[in-house]
Amino acid sequence: MIAGVDGTKAGWIAAIDRGDGRVCIEPFQEFARFATRKDIRLIVIDVPIGLLERGTREADEEARALLKNRACCVFTAPIRPILSCESREEASDKWQAIEGKRCTKQLWGIIHKVREVDEALRKTPGLRKKVYEGHPEVSFAVACGGRAIQEKKRDASGKRVRLNSLDKCLRAEAESWLRREPNSLHADILDAFAMLWTAKRLEWGSSKRFPEGLGEDVSFRMKAQIVA
């Protein structure tokens, strides 16, 4: 099985292709436990993987270039030194001292998820061969021929255009899950499906990479590359 994973307020949510043409949605709490499951061979997750000691990741710059006026959808990945910080203020002070930047509220809101995935990949090196970084809006843009979706994903029009960008099978499965899950989870479910779409492209050998040229073992080397 392969999975697309997105973070939620309560933890994580996965869209899992069971291999029979059906997709199941599965919430879970611990990334390491999910990632080490023997029945899941490939995961694409919406979390920065491969952090720098300082500076901006080339992966983020290229993703923003693709999205153009929607570049704000790609948060600046944290630098590694701030992962150990216990507050946003501490993170901002440390980042400011290193390269004159501050930690935004949005970034601090996901820092614990970045830390969780980073720790799992470091403690269990074998996971680096099956866990890849993705970004939902980058995947949706690639699915739309390289054009960023302008509509907000929480609006009805935004949901529809994102659904329509998925291939027929995934679109039908996503629509089915959106009908049975509360509206509060719809954006996360759509993002998980976008990550699953990318996971399928990885298996088919048709994925696009930002930046290109790092090789198939990019996750093992923990270098930053967004796949779509």
pLDDT band at 186 (very low <50, low <70, confident <90, very high): very high
CA distance 66 to 59: 11
- Residues near 100 by Cβ (< 8 Å), separated by ≥ 6? none
Mean per-residue pLDDT over the chain, rounded: 91
Task: With a cut of 60, say whether residue 219 has pLDDT above it.
Answer: no
- Residue at token pair 């954006």: 187
When pLDDT is averaged across residues 119-136 and rounded to a whole number, the result is 93
Residues 74-103 pLDDT 10s: 988 999 999 999 999 999 999 999 999 999
Give the start-to-end residue ranges of the domains of the chain: 2-49+114-221
* Between residues 37 and 154, the one the model is more confident about: 37
Residue 46 CA to residue 55 CA, distance in Å, equals 20
Q: Which structure tokens are listed for 148?
A: 């960023």
Residues with Cβ < 8 Å from 127, sequence gap 6 or more?
35, 36, 120, 121
The string of pLDDT tens digits covering residues 17-41 is: 988 878 999 999 999 999 999 999 9
At 41-58, the pLDDT tens digits run 999 999 999 999 999 999
- Would you say domain 2-49+114-221 falls under CATH 3.30.70? no
Percent of the chain with pLDDT over 70: 96
pLDDT of amino acid 216: 53
Question: Exposure of 79 by Cβ count < 10 A (0-12 exposed, 13-18 middle, 19+ buried)?
Answer: buried
Taking the C-alpha atoms of residue 209 and residue 219, their distance in angstroms, rounded to an integer, is 12
Residue 156: is its pLDDT beyond 90? Answer: no
- The encoded tokens of residue 119 equal 């720790």
Asked if residues 130 and 143 have their Cβ atoms less than 8 Å apart, the reply is no
Task: Check residue 221 and give its pLDDT.
Answer: 56
